[in-house]
Amino acid sequence: MSTLVIVESPTKARTIRNFLPSTYRVEASMGHVRDLPSSAEEIPEAVKGEKWAQLGVNVEADFEPLYVIPKDKKKIVKELKDALKDATELILATDEDREGESISWHLLQILKPKVPIKRMVFHEITREAIRDALTHCRDIDNRVVQAQETRRILDRLVGYTLSPLLWKKIAWGLSAGRVQSVAVRLLVRRERERRAFRQGSYWDLKATLEKSKISFDAKLVTVGNVKVANGSDFDENTGQITAGRRVLLLNEEQARALLARIQNKPWTVGNIEERPVTRKPSPPFTTSTLQQEANRKLRLGARETMRIAQSLYERGFITYMRTDSVHLSEQAITAARSCVQELYGSEYLSPQPRKYTTKSKGAQEAHEAIRPAGSTFRTPQQTGLDGIDFRLYDLIWKRTVASQMADSRQTHVTVLTQVEDAGFRSSGKRIDFPGFLRAYVEGSDDPNAALEDQEVILPALKVGDKPNCKDVEAVGHETQPPARYTEASLVKMLESEGVGRPSTYASIIGTIVDRGYAKLIANALIPTFTAFAVTTLLETHFPDLVDTGFTSRMEQTLDEIATGEAKWLPYLQKFYTGETGLATQVKEQESQIDAKVARTVVLENITAKVCIGKYGAYLESENEEGQVKASIPQDLTPADLDPEKVEFLLKQKTEGPEKLGLHPDTGEPIYVLIGNYGPYVQLGDVSETNKKPKRSSLPKGTDKDSVTVDMAVSLLTLPRLLGTHPDTGAKVQANLGMYGPYVVHDQGKVGKDYRSIKVPDDVLTITLDRALELLSQPKAVRGSKSTTPLKELGAHPESGELINVYDGRYGPYVKHGDINASLAKDESLENFTLQKALDLLAAKEAAGGGKSSKSKKSTKTTAAKSETAEKKTTTAKKTTAAKSETAAKKTTAAKSETAAKKTTAKKATTATASKKKTE
């Protein structure tokens, strides 16, 4: 007698096997095994001729979904069917959320088991939890499945109905989404606010006072009993004081005159106010608060946070990581209070257990907050974790333990001092008892350091005291535009507006960036010109679909379907069909949308038109000679496009660039230009005899205005011949490429060996000796058999083959057999373990990342893709090597900017909503 248990991932399967008897066989479905078709080739022949087939939903037959097994899941399905043949019982143990319930239901539909079936659920993967779950199995909750299916159909209807309209009216390859488009609109609205922002300036005084040899700061707040203006008094749209505010706006001259007037005059304490403040700890983490705090503290993106949290959950370190609930079980409360008692003492324990309740009506995923797993909490040091895994677990552990700690007691002190008719204010903070702050301070990595930063000690003062003025200075200020959204603040906004579900925010933000609607720069999400165009079209013609209130109400209805309060079919019919349905709206609006207008982005203070073209955004203007078009560099954001840059780009197009100087040897002019990929230098003019002048990109981070003739001459020498390699006699060069500066050992037909040049080395000054030193360091080319690993991890637990980490063109990657998987950018090689490698390889294999051994052709293609990323390699290894070195020169704008679009056109997947845990 044997029991087959099916979970989603190999890691989860490996962990659960340890807690079950040997008669239980645990297998992984690798996520969803069935979904709506993602491309035309997945549509069954029997329905390919139907009008609704491409949509994947038969809207005329009660919105019946067309489910297919993706090509990369057919092998997994076969293996599961084979495993079921030997089983006398089937247990479906996928996650207890909508997505997990749906996966179990799909497995049931595909496997069609003839043996008894059970649905097993749990919120943590520990021996106790798994054994307990085995005794409390239930049936599949069909209402939850229906709610998830409705959500999936709804997302498909929105994406596949609106996206083709965007292709026709703006640009091929764009996509719309029920939650994605709302999130993009939030980014665009904030960027519009930044463009509309008008800077204001104001001055005040700052003094350093002293009493009893203790110095403290004081800031000017009044003059003649009139409040002095600060940043909060300004209207962002005018840069002037908000109408109706009775404040004194000081300019520099007035501030310095006041400074001179109070110089050497006596200061007197006029009032002292002490106010006791009690702070309570934050509740334990939910999915969204974990994403926000990991972004603030660890600088992790939402997608990376969820990847790490999922790994911690599947290995039994934390409870389920997709939850809207702040509730802690009695077991968890006991464990947390035990930690407080042992580590901090009874005085730091809250008098009564703290029980948190979830205020959000839509909370429905798992029914407990994210916390350390088990009936006793392992401290971070006891887990054996390292690197970013350790840091995220540490964050979760501290937040959970702090939630059961005593309140923090503080005293806030305000002191008002007077000198002449000028009033100054000093603020102090005294921490009387740190309480939970001893373990956890929101937004800070080091609680002890944070306590010191929070405490601002003022000397003992009383009314009438006359502190000494050690220094006073006039300080100028400028108001700042509204801050762009970070991943953390966007997640917070989406949750507060009730848009989407926290479990989907990571994939939504990832989609926004991947699809080119935003760029993530210095942790800020900056919308692109394309985002502006798409948002304007949707706001104008489909305002409900990008309205946060409308989307929030949709979310509530989906929740009501899950609880049985609403019916799914009438809702879909009302939303999509009928006189006001989405399908009708699209048909009516299509003829009313002028493609030229839709492709034009209107920006304040910009006289030229900003248009979305086949190869990206460009400027369009009229002059005496006719229409002028100039490409907008890809790294130039809408907020940064000002009249000065517009003038420069148009002038460069019509008059040519201004001369930087003359080359000292040839006498030819040297220009600094801005192209699609940023600034570059050019030697000579374009002519019939010189169609491709010598050019060189500026090193990353170099401003075009800082380029000198000498620097330009040096850049134009690239590639620099450094000398010959002592072993081969082949040339060694230094050059700038698509991925930055590098040195190359060029052995002709034998091949080329590359190494990146890192700071402090410089491509313009690196020597042959240093280049040879770099080239001597281990370097692996993916697919090569004769490579030296950066790190040996050990044997694969199933195959016994060695798993190693190698250095690739795009960074370190782990290799097992024919499967390669890149390490995360912030992953420490020193802390990279065998378990992490197994997780990466399993995920890559599930996504179809392994090579096929059936044909030589497919092997070559896979190797080429692995080596050259998004480039389309159709020739042999020689061509690939040549492309690597000259990509920046030979890749045309058309190729680089339409590569993604061509792929989309072939696969017809542009409008596809994300398959797993996405809105």
Which sequence positions are flagged as catalytic? 320
Q: Which two tokens stand for residue 364?
A: 């429905």
Q: Which two tokens stand for residue 474?
A: 């006039």
3-state helix, strand, coil in the chain (%, to 5): 40, 20, 40
Q: Which two tokens stand for residue 508?
A: 């939504």
The dihedral built from the CA positions of residue 17, 20, 25 and 27, taken in this order, carries a sign that is negative
- CB-based contacts of 268, cutoff 8 Å, min separation 6: 417, 418, 419, 464, 465, 466
- Round to whole Å and give the CA distance between 95 and 91: 12
Nearest CA to 401 among 367, 438, 352, 445?
438
Nearest CA to 159 among 910, 901, 903?
910
- Round to whole Å and give the CA distance between 214 and 216: 7
The enclosing H or E element of 631 equals: strand 626-631
Provide the strand spans (E) within 449-523. Answer: 468-478, 518-521
The enclosing H or E element of 653 equals: helix 643-654
Is beta strand 408-419 parallel, antiparallel or unpaired with respect to 268-279?
Answer: antiparallel
Q: Which two tokens stand for residue 195?
A: 């463009």
Q: Provide the b/e sequence for 50-76 (b: ≥16 CB within 10 Å).
A: eeebbbbbbbeeebebbbbbbeebeeb
- Round to whole Å and give the CA distance between 918 and 148: 11
Give 903: exposed, middle or buried? Use CB within 10 Å, 0-12, 13-18, 19+: middle
Type of residue numbered 742: Y
Is beta strand 89-92 parallel, antiparallel or unpaired with respect to 3-7?
Answer: parallel
Give 391: exposed, middle or buried? Use CB within 10 Å, 0-12, 13-18, 19+: middle
Looking up tokens 């002048």 gives 693
- Round to whole Å and give the CA distance between 152 and 37: 12
Type of residue numbered 46: A
Q: Is 164 helix (H, G, I), strand (E, B) or coil?
A: helix
Q: The sheet that has 811-816: what strands, in order across it?
A: 791-795, 802-808, 811-816, 819-822
Cα 162 to Cα 37, 764, 898: the distances in Å are 17, 50, 21
Looking up tokens 């940023």 gives 678
- Round to whole Å and give the CA distance between 621 and 610: 9
End-to-end CA distance of the chain, in Å? 41
Q: Which two tokens stand for residue 440?
A: 């956890």
What backbone torsions phi and psi does residue 302 show, to the nearest 5 degrees? -60, -40
Is beta strand 214-223 parallel, antiparallel or unpaired with respect to 57-58?
Answer: unpaired
Q: Describe the crossing of helices 505-514 and 180-196 by its angle, rounded to 10 degrees.
A: 60
> Is the Cβ–Cβ distance between 338 and 376 less than 8 Å?
yes
Is the omega angle on the peptide bond into residue 44 within 30 degrees of 0, that is, cis? no
**Helix segments in 170-278, DSSP class H:** 180-196, 252-262
- Round to whole Å and give the CA distance between 164 and 230: 49
> Is the Cβ–Cβ distance between 752 and 730 less than 8 Å?
no
Nearest CA to 752 among 650, 845, 867?
867
